[in-house]
Amino acid sequence: MKKPETSGSSLFSPLSIILAVAAMLVLFPTLIIKGPSIFSPGQLSSQSTRGKVFAEVSSHAEIETQCKLCHQPLLLSQSESCLNCHEDIDIQVDQEIGMHGYLAINTSCRNCHSDHQGRDFDMLQGALKNFDHNQTSFSLTGEHLPLTCKECHTENNFQIRSDCSTCHLEPEQHAGMFSLDCSECHTTQAWTPAVWDYNPFDHEEVGFSLILHELDYQGNLIACMDCHQSDGIEIVLPSCHECHEQNNPVFMQEHSDLFGFNCTDCHDGVDKMKNFEHQNVFVLDGAHSELECLACHENQQFRETPTECSACHEEPEIHAGSFGLNCANCHSTEAWQPAMLMSHTFPLDHGEEGEIECMVCHVDSYTQYTCESCHNSQEREFIEEHEDENIPREELMDCVTCHEDGETHD
């Protein structure tokens, strides 16, 4: 079957040409009347820029038909066109001051301030809604993240300092004690615990709790400088006495005369000494129970007091170097005399001929003993018996190691 012949491409058919000419006749007058605004994606905002006038206009809506004021792609960038009108922002960018001076140089205005979204669109609030605060010199982290703009930028003031004291008053507790750079001790995660030497700080860890020292006797807040020097962390010990003297002057006078002013030696603020029992540290019985505190705690030193007898009692000359310094072996706290042997692990009737004299075994000193007085370590039979037990000759006379009860063991 033979195909029908065509008169040419349908693109240039008489009908296509007629439709194209008709479209041009309609669009051309519209372009003449409305100009480039015919290509606008939407109306411009009529919101005033905080009541200011730029280039003799107060809103973008007033120049909606003058597209070339903002759009000159072959001559200026979009941002350059913006700064031609917004001269105050141009100064900020040029001098790197104000909020816009902190932003990256290559940041385009329309990244934050879009338009063509209707007459009621607020370009400032639109920018703030999606604003990346990390573009400024102050990143929002921790507890700063959930804050609204107005909590820091009151009355739409964005030209504020970024130091902590701008928003945070110095706590009354440490007023004048530390610097105003809060970041030295605090993080944005939380004010407490504060950080000291890169570690979370807890006053209890330095040996003194503040649980009972938040308020003084008058109900006033106790500040750091009430106890510490302003130029360091050392505690001013007399400050304890000065404060507590207000509550009970008679007791504090007697207490200070007896124990001194070094309060933290005994008190930890909770209070560690409130129900102090000396028996838990050193039993006071016998003649010790009648002693005054200062008899043992000279110069009012209560920490690390030695508990050895020799710390208070000099060794009598009569047995100097003979009995050792463990007085409790022969003496009790009831009285020094009469002395008596408190314990002797080796039987005193060794040999079953009655109690033997001390000097038989303790020839030179009562802290040393010898078995040579009765047992000859040089006898052949004695040596062979111990060699069978794999005991070397240099250890032969260390008898008590094996014969603690004084008996012969097979």
Report DSSP letters for 195-214, one per residue: EETTEE--GGGGT---TT-S
Where is the domain boundary, 212, 239, 265? 265
| 42 & 131 share domain | yes
130 in a structural domain: yes
| 33 & 135 share domain | yes
Q: CA 198, CA 186: separation in Å to the nearest integer?
A: 10
Where is the domain boundary, 311, 329, 347? 329
**90 burial type by CB count under 10 A (0-12 exposed, 13-18 middle, 19+ buried):** middle
Q: What's this model's pTM, rounded to 2 decimal places?
A: 0.42
Sorted by sequence, the CB contacts under 8 Å of residue 27 that are 6+ apart come out as none
| 124 & 194 share domain | no
| 124 & 187 share domain | no
| 119 & 223 share domain | no
Tokens 């507790």 map to which residue?
Answer: 173
Cα 180 → chain centroid:
18
| 124 & 31 share domain | yes
Where is the domain boundary, 310, 329, 348? 329
409 in a structural domain: no
| 63 & 111 share domain | yes
Q: CA 186, CA 241: separation in Å to the nearest integer?
A: 32
Side-chain half-sphere CA neighbours of 218 within 13 A: 6
**Is residue 400 helix, strand or coil?**
helix
407 in a structural domain: no
| 217 & 249 share domain | yes
405 in a structural domain: no
270 in a structural domain: no
Say how many domains are in the chain.
Answer: 3
400 in a structural domain: no
410 in a structural domain: no
Tokens 């816009």 map to which residue?
Answer: 100
pLDDT of residue 1: 44
Sorted by sequence, the CB contacts under 8 Å of residue 319 that are 6+ apart come out as 366
| 132 & 206 share domain | no
| 221 & 323 share domain | no
36 in a structural domain: yes
The domain in which residue 84 lies consists of 26-140
| 197 & 238 share domain | yes
| 250 & 285 share domain | no
For each of the chain's 410 residues, which pLDDT tens digit applies? 444 454 455 667 787 777 777 777 766 666 666 656 666 788 888 887 666 666 678 888 888 888 888 888 788 888 888 888 888 888 888 887 777 877 765 678 888 888 888 888 888 877 877 788 877 778 888 889 888 888 888 876 777 777 787 888 888 888 777 877 888 888 888 888 888 777 888 888 788 888 888 888 888 888 888 888 766 677 777 788 888 988 899 999 888 888 888 888 888 888 877 778 888 888 888 888 888 888 888 877 777 788 888 888 888 877 777 777 888 888 888 888 887 776 777 888 887 788 888 888 888 777 788 888 888 888 888 888 888 888 887 787 888 888 888 787 66
